[in-house]
Structure 1
Amino acid sequence: MTVGIVSYGAYIPKYRIKTEEIAGVWGGDAEILKAGLKVYEKSVPDVDEDAATIAVEAARNALKRGKFDPQRIGAVYTGSESHPYAVKPTSTIVAEAVGATPDMTAADFEFACKAGSAAVQVCMGLVGSGMVDLGLAIGADVSQGAPNDALEYTAAAGGVAFVIGKEKSELIAVIEDTYSFTTDTPDFWRREGQPYPGHGGRFTGDPGYFKHVTSGAKGLMKKMGTKPSDYDYAVFHQPNGKFPERAAQLLGFTPEQIKPGLVVPKLGNTYSGSCLMGIAATLDIAKPGDRIFATAYGSGAGSDAFSILVTDKIEEKRKLAPSVQQLLADPIYLSYGKYAHHKGKIKFG
């Protein structure tokens, strides 16, 4: 049975902080950091924004673009590594906010930066089996980075929602197939009660990101009998600007194929929303018949790869909600002090 994307919606807070602003506080060399990370600024949540409010806004934009009855949603899954509650689901907040029926299933997902893509896969299974009509899969984060840690230059805020369905007359894109690759590679972690994550630097690149992204991508292409030149666009998880560029090169994709979805330089790493944000940015400009290859990565570690075929329905739905580039436009820049306040880095009492 054909399963795919009925609609999508993104949300990015309007606040930003530039790399040189953070570097200036800690004595770092901004030019070296920007050249090494290829991240020039990142999004910052407002003082009253968290993963739940971001997920709600992304979901609302998906409903605007989809123009369907929210009562048809039979599953809501929110992937995040910054859920506002340790015990209280984010997904029930989203479901009620968008007007979904209470006759549904909901749960929160965690798998570092690929929790959102895992939610997409589960919704694909539920929709494909006929258990639900539509599934709402979300990746949203207000990601954490300790003061003066390398993550502070990239850890950003944002979210993306995908509505998964099977009615061909509604699909803006068909998900042709998916493939996952998973191991126990401890490159990144945060224990209960700890405000900031830890990371094993020497595991981050080759044993973590590149092994899993390339293995997941190659696995899907082998499964489908496709190759990089069969795709118009490609999206890879974006912890920084350099990693997806190298992943594309290792796999045989061109800079032109990844350019539309490479939003991290002016956004930062939205963690569970990262790869989904790249897919959303690509759907914003893709034409009917275009094929998109995407591979999400989550530390700990695993990857989810997707092959996506855009349909002619994209033309009538695309402009019904803000594009990723529109959400990135007209930012409000913060000083480090204001940023620290927004992120709750300043503690009182």
Structure 2
Amino acid sequence: MVGIITYGAYIPQFRIKADEIAKVWGANGTEISNGLGVFEKSVPDMDEDSLTIAVNAARNALARRDVNPADIGAIYVGSESHPYAVKPTSVTVGEAIGATPVMTAADYEFACKAGTAGIQTCMGLVKSGMIKYGVAIGSDVAQGAPSDALEYTAAAGGAAFVIGNDDPIAEINDTCSYSTDTPDFWRREGQAYPRHGGRFSGEPAYFKHVQGAAHLMMDRMGTKPADYDYAIFHQPNAKFPRNVAAMLGFKPEQIKQGLCAPRLGNTYSGAVPVGLSSVLDVAKPGDRIFVTSYGSGSGSDAFDITVTDAILTKIDRKAAPSVETMLNDKIYLDYAQYAKHKGKIVMQK
């Protein structure tokens, strides 16, 4: 019975409205917001990056449940924006939460599904008996070039999950993946901002892979959309997850709780983990959760999850801020302040 032992998310306080970005570039902010379904996005503080977000998410997870850091045998951090090209984020997270020396630690990168890939790895290590607990984190300070369409959605945030088989609060019944070489989005070494393949972003990238993994998961489990209480899909905007949910047969109320993009933006590797955290904030024993991530390049990871009685007895959900609390705790920036926070403009010394 491998599953989620505890969880925690972290979202920076700062926000910028899509209207503010559009105003600078002479675009129609209302039209862009309505088209993407994203009205504002999170922005990191001056001293925040994907590493500090990962540390805060992991600390929030451990605040909810008394897990001995010495029992954590693996730490995997998935991100498109690791602060170092050569130096792991994962070991710094381990040091910060008191889990070093750790048996295995690594940084993952598979575009926006690197966090869910970490969950799969931790599941395998726990099931094999090699470790007691593993920590999987999806964390990003997403990049978007000035005036590019990505600038309206590229956000900051992440979530951490402790995976184990000791009274999990949510059992992961099964997982599967669907991947192909589909170059819809990329960033070469040394480039500050990613590029995207335009028409490839929807079909045959996002929709093909999300549907491929989702159908495979339901075929394996013998389930249909109506069997699930909640569903979370990767959310580069609010339009794509709503459309793919409808294509698969899920209803709007099933994705509502986990759809954070309208108020958060796209946190890349953190998008599905934050959405799942939002669902776990309110889930009840017996609730069934369907999850499908997506990473450009391209691939999707799907999960079938059942919430257990332990969510009421083994963790204190109030010991760390909920996703809803963090979404409502915000400070708005103008474009100049946002550009400074994001390093788009720097002071010459």
Q: TM-score interval w.r.t. the shorter chain? A: over 0.9
Aligned pair count reads 346
Q: How does 1:189-268 map to 2 (within 5 A)?
A: 189-268=186-265
2:330 aligns with: 331
Query: Per-residue CA shift, 1:287-330, capped at 9, x if unaligned?
Result: 10000000000000000000010011112422221110011112
Q: Tell me, what secondary structure is at the counterpart of 1:148?
A: coil
Q: CA deviation at 1:253?
A: 0.4
Q: CA deviation at 1:348?
A: 4.4
1:286 to 278, 283, 286: 283
Q: Tell me, what secondary structure is at the counterpart of 1:203?
A: helix
Q: Aligned partners of 1:37, 1:163: CA distance in 2, in Å?
A: 32
Query: Per-residue CA shift, 1:63-103, capped at 9, x if unaligned?
Result: 01121111110000000000000000000000000000304
- With over 3 angstroms needed to count, the CA separation of the structure-2 counterparts of 1:225 and 1:345, relative to structure 1, is same
Q: Aligned partners of 1:273, 1:70: CA distance in 2, in Å?
A: 23
Q: Aligned partners of 1:104, 1:51: CA distance in 2, in Å?
A: 22
Q: Aligned partners of 2:86, 2:227: CA distance in 1, in Å?
A: 44
Aligned: 1:313 with 2:297: no
CA RMSD of aligned residues (A): 0.8
1:302 aligns with: 299
List, as ranges, runs of 4+ consecutive aligned residues in structure 1 with deviation greater than 3 Å. Answer: none
CA contact (8 A) 2:207 2:244 kept: yes
Aligned: 1:153 with 2:134: no
1:106 aligns with: 105
Q: Tell me, what secondary structure is at the counterpart of 2:15?
A: strand
CA contact (8 A) 1:10 1:277 kept: yes
CA contact (8 A) 2:74 2:102 kept: no
Q: Tell me, what secondary structure is at the counterpart of 1:94?
A: helix
1:120 aligns with: 119
Q: Aligned partners of 1:120, 1:288: CA distance in 2, in Å?
A: 21
Q: Aligned partners of 1:65, 1:13: CA distance in 2, in Å?
A: 19
Q: Aligned partners of 1:348, 1:61: CA distance in 2, in Å?
A: 34
Task: Name whichever of 250-259 and 64-73 sits farther off.
Answer: 64-73
Q: CA deviation at 1:160?
A: 0.3
Q: Tell me, what secondary structure is at the counterpart of 2:181?
A: coil
Identical positions, percent: 66
Tell me the TM-score normalised to structure 2 length.
0.98
Aligned: 1:84 with 2:83: yes
CA contact (8 A) 2:91 2:100 kept: no
CA contact (8 A) 2:72 2:102 kept: no
Task: Name whichever of 313-322 and 327-336 sits farther off.
Answer: 313-322
1:65 aligns with: 64
Q: CA deviation at 1:224?
A: 1.0
CA contact (8 A) 2:94 2:102 kept: no
1:46 aligns with: 45
CA contact (8 A) 1:72 1:101 kept: no
